[in-house]
Structure 1
Amino acid sequence: MEHVRTAQPAPTRSAPRLEIRNLTRRFHGRTVVDDVSLMIEPGQVTCLLGPSGCGKSTTLRMIAGVEMQDSGEIWVDGKLVCDTVFRVPPERREIGLMFQDFALFPHLSVAGNVAYGLTGSRDDKRARVEELLRRVDLLQFIDGYPHQLSGGEQQRVALARALAPRPRIMLMDEPFSGLDNRLRDGIRDETLTLLKEEDTAVLLVTHEPEEAMRMADEIALMRDGRIVQQGAPYNVYTRPVDRASVSFFSDANMLRAQVNGALAQTPFGQFLAPGIPDGTDVDIVFRPQHVRIDFDRGGSGPLPTPTDGVAARGVVERARFMGHESLIEFRMSHDASVIKATVPNVFLPAPGKVMWLTIRRNRCFVFAA
């Protein structure tokens, strides 16, 4: 008997936990958020990263429902939550909120703060409060009050309170910026672990690239109300879309040159500029850690190589030890510009010392000026 194979239906892809489509918000004729779209899966942490005033917090407030968009849609688990006509009230969106100031109620105990907003029997609420306080290692303070806690402990209470109703989405607006550096890294890691365990989709607003790189599964880089680049932290860092994106993550050096035959000629040798028309001015951007330093050899530097190009002469202006690396600033002999270089550990050449610099070709970015 011949067996007939029937085509199997393709598996349906589940909707993202949070999806925002073409959100736009204007204030007094000025566009603050401009056509922003994002998708976040359960258990995923996305960082909305950008300078102050670029529209990050406004985007968060629209998702939370405390700000109304001028256009665009917000979807949760494939269901429309808000457009310009239909609107689910904020308290019914199953979205948790965490802010920089923690916003704990001073007149309520730690238990009362965490239980705020919970429904169900008294025993059920108490069990949920104890479970979360145990997970953030604060069960011993269950009957205490916020003023009796340190800043780090208050932040963990705020996290427990936000997680208590089991929100599907957590919105976090600079929640760690009020903590000192000694506490910040540990509490960020603890928070991230707990959110992952709860399978919560997280949208974190921050202006600190290091925080975004440490916490995010995906970074959405925002500037002037728009998302200019989006992707995994490694890709956003190593494949920037423009000069400003390079500079936002770290110090950046720049050379200006003109393209001729898909090559840009500089005192450091030639750089590839494929696809850029002849006569176009370009910015060649590179980070301080990708500058190689060589000693002077009787008035000359190292020989050219395909990977590092031609060496250019520089004079040390200043050298500083930064804790895990040294930062050296050079005044370049060819045009008196300043180029910064970093090297691991301690390297502090004296001001006035002549040295030679080369640039790693595979770590440079060429953009039309």
Structure 2
Amino acid sequence: MPSPESVQQTGRDAPPRLEVQNLIRRFDAQAVVDDVSFRIPSGQVTCLLGPSGCGKSTTLRIIAGVDMQDSGQIYVDGRLVCDTVFRVPPERRAIGLMFQDFALFPHLSVAENVAFGLHGTRAEKRARVADLLERVHLEDHIDSYPHALSGGEQQRVALARALAPNPRILLMDEPFSGLDERLRDGIRDETLALLKEEGTAVLLVTHEPHEAMRMADQILLMRAGKIVQRGAPYNLYNAPVDRAAAAFFSDVNILRTRVRGALCDTPFGQFLMPGQPDDTEVEIVIRPQHLKIDFDRNGRGPNPTPQDGTAARACVERARFMGRESLIEYRMDFDGSVLKVTVPNVFLPNPGTPMWLTIRRDRCFVFPAKD
């Protein structure tokens, strides 16, 4: 186990900027953080993603030093900063914090907020403040006060203040949730660009999959205190570990079926289930965008009825335009189940309209059935 002394390594052998080992935190004998371990190298944005109450904010508070774990260790650049005996004070961990409510001082100007906690000469502090405000495009507001700024501008001041001391690690707890939805994507992109310029290791806590996908190099998906899956956004989206992981990132359709002779029947024909015992109940999970309307079989081509068993007949239950796409709900002739399909742009067939649907089998996920 590494000692509290700094590990002096560089290059490929350098330790991660932040390492969390086997972190456990209990409240009333219940583990709200349950054996959590991960690493974040310098310059990487890692996202703790999960529903409210899953333990992600508690993990963040322990790393920041404002809460104490029951077991486990935390290292910064290979140096132990906290276990259950040894503890570096929060202000000496070289860790910056950015909160949901920005926590700006209302009686201080923008420049004074950014400079708060900086060390060095007056000229050094002034230069650092001016540089950061220019990079967040707020140089014209250097003498303004927080109440005179928009929500997006306050968020950028909070970011500049968090980065001013050159922290090795920046912890961000739902930092964009207070912003108008129309502003969020632009502010996220600006924030990500600045963080990459600084080379800061970032741990971002959020419950929004879209935010995690947009910002993170690595996502740690949490549930009930545990990390249930980790990896790049693409991998979590396209190779979920279970049904709940798939459903966290988007709506999903569930086809429940049983295995018979290594095959199972679905509205879209038989699926091969090698290695599954007979009578095993499974769930085939598919996202709405991976169900397709077979227009050739709906009067626009030579085959108005299916010949290969891979298309399924359904009737429109409801159709809604969602802005960038249309969402159509279909009731399947096969078993009466309702499946959702998304179609780009405007497509609003009348309720009761019969149609044929096909499925992208390479985009289906198969999991053991859950009660």
Band the TM-score falls in, shorter-chain normalisation: over 0.9
Matches within 5 A, 1:1-369: 13-295=13-295, 301-304=305-308, 310-369=310-369
Using the size of structure 1 for normalisation, the TM-score is: 0.93
The letter for the 2-side match of 1:220 is: L
Q: Deviations over 1:21-64 (max 9, x none)?
A: 11111111111010011100111001111111101100000000
CA RMSD, Structure 1 to Structure 2 (Å)? 1.4
* Matched pairs, number: 355
CA distance in 1, matches of 2:307, 2:324: 30
Q: CA deviation at 1:297?
A: 5.4
Q: CA deviation at 1:345?
A: 1.4
CA distance in 1, matches of 2:247, 2:343: 19
Contact 2:47 2:216 in 1 (8 A): yes
Q: Aligned pair in 2 of structure 1 residues 12, 315: CA closer, same or farther (>3 Å)?
A: closer
Contact 2:267 2:332 in 1 (8 A): no
% same residue: 74
Which ranges of 4 or more aligned residues in structure 1 deviate by more than 6 Å?
Answer: none
CA distance in 2, matches of 1:107, 1:73: 38
CA distance in 1, matches of 2:140, 2:240: 47
Which of 177-186 and 193-202 deviates more? 177-186
Q: CA deviation at 1:350?
A: 0.7
Q: Aligned pair in 2 of structure 1 residues 351, 12: CA closer, same or farther (>3 Å)?
A: closer
Q: Aligned pair in 2 of structure 1 residues 218, 149: CA closer, same or farther (>3 Å)?
A: same
Contact 1:42 1:200 in 2 (8 A): yes
Contact 2:298 2:356 in 1 (8 A): no
CA distance in 2, matches of 1:301, 1:63: 60
Match of 1:4 in 2: none
Using the size of structure 2 for normalisation, the TM-score is: 0.93
Q: Aligned pair in 2 of structure 1 residues 297, 162: CA closer, same or farther (>3 Å)?
A: closer
Which of 227-236 and 343-352 deviates more? 343-352
CA distance in 2, matches of 1:297, 1:80: 65
CA distance in 2, matches of 1:157, 1:16: 28
Contact 1:262 1:274 in 2 (8 A): yes
